[in-house]
Amino acid sequence: MGANEATAVPGAPSRAENDLVIGWWVRTKYALVRAFLWGWARCFSLKGLYLFGQFFGTCEYLVNHKRRRRFRQRLAVIYGDALTPGLVRRATRRHFMRIRCDKLFYLIFDKLPREKILNRVRFFGQDVLDEALKRGHGAYVALSHHGSHHVAGLLMALMGYRVAGVRDRNEGPLRKYVQEKYAETFPEFRAIRVFFADSFPRDLYRCFEEGYILGSAPDIEHERGPHLKTAPVEIFGQKREFLTGPLRIALRCGAPILQGFVVSRRNFYFRLIVQGPLVDPDAAHDDPGTLAAALQTYATNVESHVRAFPCHISKT
């Protein structure tokens, strides 16, 4: 078996499939952008690249009226009557800058020395995660679609944790291209197990049996198909349906259920935050009451996090 076959990520497309999906021109464009950004970082340091991202993000903020309007609509849902014009201006501008800076860092992440990456991570709640893993059934970490949660798995893997993730099949070409570059650079990334949301659940059971940290984001915006089970929660004064599949499997396997956030800070520093457990792992069972309580606690924590970091709203 060749090296690429041995380290293939479950559910991930092969290099040949990526070439067909991405296309040679798009691949070339991304390579040129990466070369420019890396050259800029070499000349002006990562702080200089961050300032470039802030400038670029501010320009986008000034010209992209439609996205500004959509972001304000999201803020109105989150803050209600407490929303002020000053809050709108600050949060919106920071949102544009945060998105742009995260994308720049994401594009050159694999070119940085491992030590430099890990020195930019502050881990809050690591003791909570380590204590959960001592139980021997792995752990489920419920993420959310706020902030750059896609970098959490790689950061955790570089810190020595065994990581798996569940994601939607629809991935943009940029994400596919960069993931391919990560796989070429980091053995830890090649060891991450990635499953599609509509995969057979037996692989998720196996992850918990083998002590993996499994992450997924239950807070979907739109229905992903009738075969994926959901449960109602109340968040920001609205009724929403959140995915329950990985959470139910965690309950059946006795895996502690935690919650995680990624916060982007200035100059490409990141906070990894782990909270929980959302339910008592000694008394948890896969029943409607336990499931509803865990999801509602999750939704309440998302509310608090987004109000504290409104610039991390991702879907606009």
Q: Residue 6 has what pLDDT?
A: 34
Distance of alpha carbon 294 from the chain centroid = 20
- Report the alpha-carbon angle 260-250-12, nearest 5: 70
Integer Cα distance of 279 and 44 in angstroms: 47
And the tokens for 78?
Answer: 């989150």
pLDDT of residue 102: 94
List of the chain residues with pLDDT < 50: 1-20
Residue extents of the structural domains in the chain: 3-312
The type of residue at 110 is D
DSSP 221-236: SS---TTS-EEEEEET
Query: Residue 315's pLDDT is what?
Result: 66
Cβ contact 211:140 at 8 Å? no
pLDDT of residue 226: 62
pLDDT at 113: 92
Question: Residue 225's pLDDT is what?
Answer: 62
Res 229: pLDDT? 85
Look up residue 178 and give its DSSP letter. Answer: H
Alpha carbon distance 306, 311 (integer Å): 8
- Cβ-defined contacts of 55-62 (< 8 Å, 24+): 56/100, 56/104, 57/93, 57/96, 57/97, 57/98, 57/99, 57/100, 57/101, 58/93, 58/96, 58/97, 60/96, 60/100, 61/92, 61/93, 61/96, 61/97
What's residue 15's pLDDT? Answer: 42
pLDDT at 34: 95
pLDDT at 4: 35
List pLDDT tens digits, range 182-205. 999 999 999 999 898 777 789 999
